[in-house]
Amino acid sequence: MADYFIGVDLGGTNVVTAILDQTGRLIDKISQPTQAEQGPQSLVERTSRSAESLIEKHSVSRSQLKAMGIGSPGPLSFAEGRIIASPNLPGFEQFPLRAEYSRRLQIPAVLDNDANVACWGEFWLGAGEDVTDMVLFTLGTGIGGGIVCQGELVHGSEDNAAELGHMIIVPDGRRCNCGQHGCLEAYASANQTANRAREALEQGRSSSLQAVWKNNGQVSSKDVFYHAQGGDALALEIVDGTAKALAQASINMRHITEPQKVVLTGGMIKAGDFLLHKVQRFFDEMIWTLKKESLEICLATLGGDAGCIGAAGLAFHVFQKQELPPVGT
């Protein structure tokens, strides 16, 4: 008889509730607007109803339903199952998300941050399913990360490990929103890739992007990649800057936790192999020559489902380790 797990992937815009079995089969999912302005209690109620409708629809008995996992923007306290602060979910500060879900659905729950659950999803069933050690970079507005060492997520001493976007790669470099200078995120996020292009255009650099900028009043990372693929020199230079920063960060992670795979995910991987091959080329050029490194850099394969799959998968993993917290806590 199969075991079943619920996964909730909470985002600023949408929240996805899914049901999986222990083989990782995604049986069904429901996506709905987060409507954060209605507060955390409303969110828990609406998504718990979604979970209950999935349980009923697929005739899953209570005894088969073992646990649920929740992925949420952070920072969080995993030990307490609580949101600490949440710039993208105003009003959710200090909310005991795990206990509220667990009490509502009467199953044990685990809480982890959004990048970690996406990392776990890719590790369990996606690009990293064949390795024991992997690193995930999420390339979006900012850069998040996840680290798996020997089959376990690295959480750190205060649950804020794997903030990979804030690795300083250039001393006294570009200012980051976090207050540091020279962060990976200040070069290689989608926003900063676009910003570096815009800054060059403002300096009057010749480029096919000038027309885009004049017409739209802005330039997106998508524009930059499109024009780079079209052969525009400035756009290529900007994309190379992004790829080189990601290669440096990948080399650093190879030397620090020594993953077999670095997985790239997030909006910017729509650029696909064009970006991936550049990152791999810089990696090969810049990595040490002491020994041959076999690190594989690759794209995520689960797309937007990584979060809900990873959340359910993490619940399954903690269930297997028999480390689930009691129901209602």
Measured in residues, the chain has a length of 329
Q: How far is the CB of 155 from a copy of itself (least distance, A)?
A: 7
CA proximity to 186, closest of 201, 172, 200, 207: 172
Query: Site size for a copy of itself, by CB under 8 A?
Result: 48
Q: Is 179 in the site for a copy of itself (CB under 8 A)?
A: yes
Q: Is 162 in the site for a copy of itself (CB under 8 A)?
A: yes
Q: What is the DSSP letter of 168?
A: B
> Of 63-71, 127-135, 228-236, 316-324, which segment contacts a copy of itself by CB under 8 A?
127-135
The answer to whether residues 294 and 67 touch, using CB atoms and an 8 Å cutoff, is no
The answer to whether residues 283 and 250 touch, using CB atoms and an 8 Å cutoff, is yes
2 or 178: CB nearest a copy of itself: 178
Strand arrangement, sheet containing 26-33: 26-33, 14-21, 4-10, 65-72, 109-113
203 or 289: CB nearest a copy of itself: 289
Q: How far is the CB of 270 from a copy of itself (least distance, A)?
A: 26
Show contacts with a copy of itself in window 138-157 (CB under 8 A): 147, 149-150, 154-157
Using CB under 8 A, pick the residue from 139, 167, 190, 212 that binds a copy of itself.
167
Backbone torsions φ then ψ of 183, nearest 5 degrees = -65, 150
Pairing of strands 134-139, 143-149: antiparallel
Q: Is 286 in the site for a copy of itself (CB under 8 A)?
A: yes
Using CB under 8 A, pick the residue from 62, 214, 291, 321 that binds a copy of itself.
291
Q: Is 1 in the site for a copy of itself (CB under 8 A)?
A: no
Q: Is 317 in the site for a copy of itself (CB under 8 A)?
A: no
28 three-class SS? strand
**In b/e form, how buried is each residue of 77-101, taking b as 16+ CB within 10 angstroms?**
bbebbbbbebebbeebeebbbbbbb
Show contacts with a copy of itself in window 68-107 (CB under 8 A): 75
Using CA atoms, how far apart are residues 193 and 316, in angstroms rounded to an integer?
37
Q: Is 112 in the site for a copy of itself (CB under 8 A)?
A: no
Using CA atoms, how far apart are residues 139 and 121, in angstroms rounded to an integer?
16
133 or 305: CB nearest a copy of itself: 133
Q: Is 255 in the site for a copy of itself (CB under 8 A)?
A: yes
CB-based burial of residue 181 (10 Å sphere; 0-12 exposed, 13-18 middle, 19+ buried)? middle
Q: How far is the CB of 247 from a copy of itself (least distance, A)?
A: 9
45 or 293: CB nearest a copy of itself: 293
Interface contacts to a copy of itself, rule CB under 8 A = 75, 131-133, 147, 149-150, 154-164, 166-171, 176, 178-181, 244-245, 248, 251-253, 255-260, 286-291, 294
